[in-house]
Amino acid sequence: MSGKREVRGGWSLPSYGLPLTAYRLPLTAYRLPLTAYLLLLAACHSSPQKEQEKLQQELKSWDATAQLTHQLSERGALPRVYVRQVSEAVDQGKEKLKQQAAQSSQ
């Protein structure tokens, strides 16, 4: 005996004196990982209410960024180029939030 067993597809496994069925996992071995995956998938799904809360929080963050930038700009603490770039980013961020809000309400 060569110590190897032919398996479907032409490749072979070392036998180690074990029957070929010893290499197969029972179906119950897949139950725990599958259950864990399904629970994780269900936990990651957020409700429409949570989505709206998240969008509101992001909107508040953009508003706070704009307000702080404006305050620092009035004191002369920021270069004009930076203020313009932040203003553009705030506008783009708010526009993106509006689009997300419209999609989530459909």
Digits of tens for pLDDT over the chain (106 positions)? 455 555 566 666 565 665 555 556 566 666 777 778 778 777 776 777 888 899 999 999 999 999 999 999 999 999 999 999 999 999 999 999 999 888 877 7
* Residues 51, 101 within the same domain: yes
Give the structural domain span for 22.
4-43
* Residues 32, 9 within the same domain: yes
- Provide the whole-model pTM: 0.57
Q: What's the CA gap between 55 and 49, in Å, rounded?
A: 10
Whether the CB-CB separation of 98 and 67 falls below 8 Å is answered with: no
* Residues 26, 59 within the same domain: no
Domain count, the chain: 2
